[in-house]
Copies of this chain bind each other. A is one copy, B any other.
Amino acid sequence: MTRENDKRPEWIPKDATEGFATRIMSGVEQEEVKQAPSSKRKQRKLADYVSGVRNNDRTILAKGITLIESNAPKHIHSAQRLLNELLPHTGHSLRIGITGVPGAGKSTFIEALGSYLCEQGLQVAVLAVDPSSSVTGGSILGDKTRMESLSRNPRAFIRPSPSAGTLGGVTRKTRETMLLCEAAGYDVILIETIGVGQSEIAVRSMVDMFVLLVLTGAGDDLQGMKKGVMELADLLIVNKADGDNKRMAEVARNEYEQILHYLRPATDAWQTKALICSALHHNHIDTVWEQMKQFEHITKQSGVFEKRRQLQTKEWVYTMIKERLEADFFNHPFVKEKMPSIEQAVIEGKQPVTQAVRELFDEYEK
């Protein structure tokens, strides 16, 4: 593989990439009007993509991801053909989800962990799920300066959250991007979530291991934490264990250990652990990685690892189906128009719920 010598930055400006991909895809589109050579040339183009991704050609990888992120039907079609070819080469990474309370230092932690893994000779891809980015205009991992050192590391590949709207859309794109990165040979995939809405559950549903970053002051933190997030975690890390804060972090770690004792572990055969680290000073990052490897080892031995992956894939099918069904229904013109007044009527007790729903379906099914 040519990765070691590959000095191209993984940060191809989004516009440029998209423009390029669009040109490529327009090419494909134009070919479709022609006859015989079309499918041959398309086949060759697909083969180029496949080998490009497999050789971790970052330009091709980035273009492949752009295809996956596109909502244009012809891009979706091409992306699926590409994925189909790459599927046999996926699944070999360790997929780790990372969330945290605001201010816990997620970017610093990912930068520290990612750099450490690169030093160990591993290749790391960093992705994100942030359904809020289309609303706020920003996006996590979108700010290069946040992970300056990691983003310059030739062994690391960072891709910000796709800026498309729904959680379902963002989730699908991140999942498929993850598969592309695996086919490109990345050993560890770190998926950050900003913790908006249901995004933790979405990330938990696509990773092998889920990490929750917290700060000192366990009780107070937890009060502000979203319900049930702690029960998703396989590893709880008290960050910023440095300077005067170190002793406090140790206390918090003990408190969390106690709480964890009362909660049912997120993963069978693995007792969720609480650790401390200082991402800023790169302290205890090795311990964190040790625990992650330990987790992988134990869950693979017990079969829990493989079982979870199978279940995740199966559930992904069902989730996509449900999202599609709901999108079709709620975007139906009659439903869209009627929904507000029906909501009002049932809330005010003017119409029974069952009757209201029946009314909507009578029209929808016409």
The 16 listed contacts between A and B (C-beta, < 8 Å) are A76-B354, A80-B355, A83-B352, A84-B355, A87-B349, A219-B261, A227-B231, A228-B228, A259-B262, A313-B346, A314-B343, A320-B353, A321-B326, A321-B329, A322-B322, A322-B325
- For chain A, the bracket of interface size reads 35 or more
Partner of A80, one of B219, B347, B354: B354
* Smallest CB separation, A270 vs chain B (Å): 14
- Is A225 located at the chain interface by the 8 A CB criterion? yes
Assuming A317-B357, A342-B317, A357-B320, is B350 touching A222 (CB within 8 A)? no
> Is B347 touching A313 in the complex (CB atoms < 8 A)?
yes
* Smallest CB separation, A228 vs chain B (Å): 5
Cα distance A227–B204 when bound, in Å?
15
> Is A351 touching B84 in the complex (CB atoms < 8 A)?
yes
* Smallest CB separation, A330 vs chain B (Å): 8
Cα distance A311–B192 when bound, in Å?
31
- The binding surface of chain A is classed by DSSP as helix
Partner of A227, one of B226, B264, B353, B356: B264
Partner of A264, one of B80, B225, B343, B360: B225
Q: In the complex, which residues of chain B have a beta carbon less than 8 angstroms from the beta carbon of A87?
A: 349-352
Assuming A222-B262, A317-B346, A342-B317, is B324 touching A357 (CB within 8 A)? yes
* Smallest CB separation, A333 vs chain B (Å): 16
Assuming A84-B355, A320-B353, A322-B322, is B314 touching A347 (CB within 8 A)? yes
- Is A25 located at the chain interface by the 8 A CB criterion? no
* Smallest CB separation, A83 vs chain B (Å): 4
Known contacts A79-B354, A218-B262, A222-B263, then 19 further A-B pairs from the complex at CB < 8 Å, ordered by chain A residue: A76-B354, A80-B352, A84-B351, A87-B349, A176-B354, A225-B264, A227-B263, A228-B228, A259-B259, A310-B347, A314-B343, A317-B342, A317-B357, A320-B354, A320-B357, A321-B357, A321-B361, A324-B357, A325-B329
